[in-house]
Amino acid sequence: MRRAMVIDTRRCVGCEACVVACKTENRVPEGSYRDWVTQETRGEYPSLELILRSQRCNHCSNAPCVSNCPVGASFYRGDGTVQVDRDLCTGCRACLESCPYGARYVTPEGFVDKCTLCVHRLDEGKPTACQEVCPTGAIAVGDLDDPTSLVSLRLRRGDSSVVAPEAGTHPNVYYVR
């Protein structure tokens, strides 16, 4: 199984419901975010283009947060996601320094946390909290190994991109337009 997220930026209206849903579902501490919405404006007036992206940990296939974690607390779960084992984490923050997307934060208790791709929900057959609440259906989560999954279908449309591919991390959160 290769879990991935494919976000249709043409559907996204930037309502930030995903941000609120994630904060509630995962009890994300005040001042920290597991997901956030980026609003990118390109061009010059009057010819402007607006791209909205709901962003989070990219569950990278070549994750520097995993390779640089000195205790193995950051790990590949084997389903395409990257997770943090809080029972191992020392709070050295080598992973925060290694993540090109700033996807991680330190909890008030001192360990590191980030988007889990809501695997606790996916494992029960439920959608992620952000996917469930998105009013326009911009967010799709599924298995890339399954050619009939919504993520595979969306990616087959072509014209997909990832954030900062130049960082070489091979993200598994894709954006289609």
Partner 1 sequence: MHPHIEIDSTRLAAHLVAERVWGWEVPVYLFLGGLVAGLMIAVSAAILTLGKERATKAMRLGLLAAPVLLSLGMGSLFLDLTYKLHVFRFYTTVVPSAPMSLGSWVLMLVYPVQLALILALPHSMLDPYLARVPQLAAVRAWAERNVGALALAGLGLGVALGIYTGVLLSATVARPLWSSGALGFLFLASGSSTGVALLMIAERDHAMNALFAKADIVLITLELLLIGSWIVGLATQGPLYREAATLLIKGPYAPAFVGVVVFGGLLVPAALETLSLRGKALHSRWTPALVLAGGLILRFVIVYAGQDVGFVTG
What residues make contact with ligand SF4 under the rule CB under 6 A? 57-60, 63-65, 69, 71, 73-74, 82, 84, 89-95, 99, 101, 103-104, 112, 114, 169
Pair 17, 133: CB distance under 8 Å: yes
The single-letter DSSP state of residue 112 is E
26, 84 in Cβ contact below 8 A?
Answer: no
CB of 40 to partner 1, least distance (A): 5
Give the one entry of partner 1, ligand SF4, none that residue 129 binds, where binding means its C-beta sits below a cut-off of 5 to 8 angstroms depending on kind.
none
- Specify the residue for token string 């791709």: 117
Binding mask 47-86 for partner 1 (x = CB under 8 A): --------x--------x--xxxxxxx-------------
State the minimum distance, in angstroms, from the CB of residue 42 to ligand SF4. Answer: 23
Task: Output 23 or 153, the one with its CB closest to ligand SF4.
Answer: 23
Pairing of strands 35-44, 47-56: antiparallel
Site membership for partner 1, residue 90 (CB under 8 A):
yes
Q: What is the largest CA-CA distance in the chain?
A: 53
